[in-house]
Amino acid sequence: MKLTGALIIGANDVPATEGTMKALNPATHQLIEPAFALGGADQVDQAATLADEAFDSYSHTSLARRATFLDSIADNLDDVRQALAARAALETGLPAAQLEGEAAKAAAQFRQFAEVVRRGRFLQLAIDPAQPDRQPRPRMDHRLQKIAIGPVAVFGASNFPISYSVAGGDTASALAAGATVIVKAHNAHPGTSKIQARAIRKAVQDNGLPEGVFSMIRGGGNAIGEALVDHPLIKAVTFTGSEQGGMALYRRAQQRPEPIPVFTEMTSVNPTFILPEALAERGGQIGDGFVERMLVNVGQACLKPALLIAIEGAGFDALRTAMVKRVSEAAARPMLTPGIHAAYLDGLTAMENAGASRVAEGYAVNALLDGQSALLEVDGAIFLRETALAEEVFGPCALLVKVRDADEMLAVARSLRGQLSAAMHLEHSDLQLARRLLPVLERRTGRIVVNAFAHPQEVTFATVHGGPFPASSDSRFTSVGMTSIERFLRPVCYQGFPDALLPEALREGNLLQLPRSMEGAFVGAS
């Protein structure tokens, strides 16, 4: 598949206005052809204007037509899966087979959202009929549905170049909601982004939709992202990345003349708590499984289990020995970008300076951007004193926290900031302690896992990928799963409307057979 470096703004391939860049192969540290265009504020304005012009038409497409469009994107992604994975492997250093799986997941998400659209539950239709004879005054007919919030800006992530990128869940859920989308592609994988953008644009064209439904831009530095957040036609932003980057966008969006929501997924150490009986019975098994999941994607996953807390006692030595063994046998592998690699090394140093001891490390590095795995250990008292030990270190390392007793374990849990996930390993005799720990974790995370690890994560209706700050900027929403569509919707009430003027989903007779509530009672299709 021949790649060209142009930006995709609506139906047009737009050449560079602010210079060009090339992708870096992190395994070889060599630049990869071709050169990719960089744009600026003018290109943001072009894309935003097209997105706004397309919004009224696209947001009012029938549910059937919108679902067909999403299915078309999935089909197009399947058609380019091998080429997409091969290019992503060059740009990330990750295995092509793994990336084919990620491409399949991206296509599956579009199909899942197509089904969400067909079912129509996301509209949250509600009807309160008129009561003309009510005293002391009549009530008019009230009908509610959710509509798309407006054009959405999606910032592609660095660590999952497909399923959190141009064709990721943010794009899929926003398009499903009826929003038009502008993606700011991540510069770590420009070719991968271009292949995905072509697949989406082809679906826009094949389905006869307005060209502004989708655009993809790219720029050097922060200026293009700032211009995107600042643009008055953009009504919401999504971001996956560092706390520093996410909060910079969040603050900027709140300083606009018209503030807009920024849905960020930022930082998490995904703590795992091993309760005493589980530790005694299967400490070694848990330790081995923990490190196995920690090493996925060279530790560059938002759900990487990075913090393990266990009470010193029966099973602790087996846990520690298994973790040391698994880490020591881990090969060094390329990390995604020079910046991520440098931050990983700095993070390891910061943990050691805060009192953690390095008790194991993997095979030595062979290339400039290789990440060497590491296991660090610290006592609970030091962990509670040194807040730096609770910070995320993005890469193939973990921290084992040895606590004295259940009370210190609970103190460690209470000291943590918001998390994307938390896990407990327990046996029946651990239930009493688990009941004490559970409310502490509920206040600090959006997902709690028992006798498993937080990564991987299924994409379902019940999935939650979010949590209290700094895991995300708004713990009421998830960035993964079918309910992530709710980020891009707002309610509108239609009061006293004649039936012919109502949105089709709210008309008498419910010809679309959609689920609706009637004076608070659920009726209609499932």
**Among this protein's residues, is 302 annotated catalytic?**
yes
**In sequence order, which ranges of 60-209 are alpha helices (DSSP H)?**
63-79, 81-92, 96-119, 169-177, 190-206
H or E segment to which residue 424 belongs: strand 422-425
Question: CA 90, 93, 97: angle at the middle one, nearest 5?
Answer: 85
Is there a contact between 476 and 468 (Cβ–Cβ < 8 Å)?
no
SS3 of residue 231 by DSSP: coil
The tokens describing 228, both together, are 């995107």
- Number of Cβ within 10 Å of residue 420's Cβ equals 29
Whether 265 is a known active-site residue: answer: yes
Question: Rounded CA gap, 453 and 198, in Å?
Answer: 36
Residues 6 or more apart whose CB falls under 8 angstroms from that of 70 comprise 110, 111, 113, 114, 117, 172, 175, 176
Start-to-end Cα distance in the chain = 43
Whole-number Å distance between alpha carbons of 277 and 274: 8
**Active-site residue, from 265, 277, 377, 408:** 265
Packed helices 190-206 and 81-92: angle between N→C axes, nearest 10 degrees: 150
Nearest CA to 455 out of 215, 289, 273, 233 is that of 289
Residue closest to 225 by CA, chosen among 49, 50, 487, 40: 40
Burial status of residue 246 (CB atoms within 10 A of its CB: 0-12, 13-18, 19 or more): buried
- Of the candidates 91, 100, 302, 392, the residue annotated as catalytic is 302
Give yes or no for a contact between 363 and 398, defined as CB atoms under 8 angstroms apart. no
CB of 155 closer than 8 Å to CB of 249: yes
Q: What are the residue numbers of the active site?
A: 265, 302
